[in-house]
Structure 1
Amino acid sequence: MNRIGFAFLVALLRMFAVLPYGLVARFGALLGACLYAIPSRRRRIVLVNLRLCFPGRTESEYEQLGRAHFRHVVRSYVERGVQWFGSARDIEQLVQLESRIDLDDPNAPPTIFMGFHFVAIEVGCMLYSMKLPIASLYTPMSDARMCALARSQRGRFGADMIKRSDSARKVLKLLRAGKSVMLAADMDHGVENSVFVPFFGVPACTLTSVSRLARLGGARVVPFVTEVLPDYQGYKMTIFEPLADFPSEDDTVDARRMNAFLETQVLRFPDQYYWVHRRFKHRPEGVPAVY
């Protein structure tokens, strides 16, 4: 992205931050529906993922779900305006928080807050960083300007942003000091430090980092999910109870448990999971590619 294009994008996001949320959200949803009508690589990835994970549906049902997902995805990019440039008060007013653990417990053990890539994950992470000190992992973007912008705005309420490639030693140091770390392990980052376990019955290359870090750092693992509420009412962030008997001594068992928990949440609002990601990019040996 050149300098002019980047400046225009930042100005656009700042404008979205001051416009009424409902207007911005409706614009994003409309733009997503329009973009879905144009054949693209991302639309094809979405439909491949939906056919793999929800076999037996009609083509009309796949198209309907794919279009709804595109509306949510593009809308989430537009809503980065208020998430990155809106005030803390703006975000707090948009997000309902339901926690099944005591977030104010001074004696809480070191915690890994395990997120999942639903379209509203960004705003949930930012809300949490306002409540308590947290470190959060990120994957660098290909564009250096966008990467610097995302890192600074995601960390503007005090979150310590840690690059995923540098994370293991830093995360362990934080956990052993009793701190909390927020990470997501539901994307395909390659076969290293991963295992193939089912996700909706399809072998998915799944990171084992959550269970390994929890084991070495003596941390509990607390899942959280942020969902988009209907009728443009904002979002809801749910922080669940810690996973029981987690981690075990078997990384494969733990990875399957993570995916099983994620499946229960995807079924609640399937159009909001990040189907544009190539979740099945890597395949077990001898299994054909799907993209």
Structure 2
Amino acid sequence: MTGLLRAFAFLPYGVVARIGTGIGALLYRIPSARRRVVHTNLKLCFPDMSDDARERLARAHFCHVIRSYVERGPQWFGNAQALARLVEVESAIDLTDMEGQPTIFVGFHFVGIEAGCMMYSTRHPVASLYTPMSNLLLDAMAKRQRGRFGTEMIPRSDSVRRALRVLRDGKPVMLAADMDFGLRDSVFVPFFGVPACTLTSVSRMAKAGNARVVPFVTEVLPDYRGYKLTIFEALKDFPSEDVAVDARRITEFLETQVRRIPDQYYWVHKRFKHRPAGEAGVY
């Protein structure tokens, strides 16, 4: 796999992206557990959508997901100049002066998140929370390549203590808290009207580190033109005294972005894996 990803880094981006899209289209035709997860999530979140529309959305999403895996080649093995050419940046905050205010960049699992985070790390010091992979060789490669421009990689098991130290040292922390990591330190808040097990780590860390919380989204641009990293204004009056309220605010922000680019959100993840007490599983 490493050799193939390295090879993709030497191909023109448009070629790599088209290869990924083509593979995704082929794989979607094969019944699989992941395809069922996509359809389950879409049916739960968009119950009023027609079957045909949901099918088109699922197919487009599957192509995006496989394409994102293939594009790990230029992201993990391309140089900083190549990444800069691929990702345009629009920021509502000043990224050149980050030491005066501890900052938590909260991202979301859109298919372009890797490209945005990698490009940001070529320009500015940052630490990133990550979830170790079950495949040790792949995990070691991912950690090495994601951190090759100086990003401090922090595993979730050690996240709070190290992240607070990083914040105190004036370095921003990037994290994503929109996946179901279990009931511990989580609350159920509605995601498109469906109770979703949602981490409270963002507000807890912001309070402990006296940090502002700045959302960001990386989207895939049409016509194989690369990506756009959008960094928004810091959330106002955040955190509050209620972690559930904070989790709901972040989820509402996410819902707005998903409605804008629904085919790019990570529907292959079992977002509703854990259910409130008494509710049956959905997968």
Select which of 238, 252, 267 maps to 1:246. 238
For the pair 1:137 / 2:129, whether they are aligned, the reply is yes
Aligned match of 1:96: 88
Match of 2:59 among 64, 67, 91: 67
**What RMSD, in angstroms, separates the aligned Cα atoms of the two structures?**
0.8
Residue-by-residue CA offset, 1:220-270 (whole Å, 9 max, x unaligned): 000000000000000000000000000001000000001000000001100
Paired residues for 1:54-203 under 5 Å: 54-105=46-97, 107-203=99-195
Partner Cα distance (2:158, 2:99) in 1: 28
Do residues 255 (structure 1) and 247 (structure 2) align? yes
Letter in 2 for 1:69: H
Equivalent of residue 218 in structure 1, options 210, 213, 223: 210
Count of residues paired in the alignment: 283
Q: Secondary structure of the equivalent of 1:146?
A: helix
1:17 aligns with 2:9: yes
Separation of aligned partners in 2, 1:237 and 1:277? 22
Is contact 2:98-2:171 (8 Å) kept?
Answer: no
After superposition, give the CA deviation of every residue in 1:262-288 in whole Å (9 maximum; x if it has no partner): 000001100000000000000000111
- Is there any run of 5+ residues in structure 2 with no aligned partner, and where? none
Once the 2 structures are TM-superposed, how far is the Cα of residue 106 of structure 1 from its aligned partner?
5.4
Q: Secondary structure at the match of 2:184?
A: coil
Using the alignment, how far apart are the partners of 1:24 and 1:173 within structure 2? 39
Contact 2:98/2:172 (<8 A) preserved: no
Are residues 1:207 and 2:203 paired?
Answer: no
Give the Cα–Cα distance (whole angstroms) in 1 for the partners of residues 275 and 57 of structure 2.
Answer: 25
Structural mapping, 1:30-49, within 5 Å = 30-49=22-41
- Contact 1:138 1:164 (8 Å CA) reproduced: yes
**Matching residue of 1:273:** 265
Q: Hey, which bits of structure 1, 4+ residues long, moved more than 4 A?
A: none
CA contact (8 A) 1:32 1:71 kept: yes
C-alpha distance in 1 between matches for 2:98 and 2:182: 38
Q: Secondary structure at the match of 1:214?
A: helix
The offset of 1:56, in angstroms, is 1.3
CA distance in 2, matches of 1:119, 1:87: 20
Normalising by the residue count of structure 2, what TM-score does the alignment of the two structures yield? 0.99
Tell me the SS of whatever aligns to 1:267: helix
Instruction: Answer with 101-110 or 189-198: which moved more.
Output: 101-110
The one-letter code of the counterpart of 1:82 is P
Instruction: Give SS of 2:260's match.
Output: coil
Alpha-carbon distance between aligned partners in 1 of 2:16 and 2:169, rounded to the nearest angstrom? 41
Give CA-to-partner distance per residue, 1:69-119, whole Å, 9 cap, x none: 000000000000000000100000000000100001255300000000000
Match of 2:229 in 1: 237
Give the counterpart of 2:44 among 34, 39, 52: 52
SS at match of 1:26: helix
Q: TM-score, normalising length from structure 1? A: 0.96
Compared CA separation, residues 164 and 106, structure 1 to 2 (3 A): closer
Distance 1:228 1:18 in 2: 20
- The Cα of 1:60 is off from its aligned counterpart by 1.1
Contact 1:176 1:218 in 2 (8 A): no
For 1:86 and 1:107, locate their aligned partners in 2 and report how far apart those are by CA, in whole Å: 29
Instruction: Give the Cα separation in 1 of the matches to 2:113 and 2:282.
Output: 26
Q: Which amino acid aligns with 1:139?
A: T
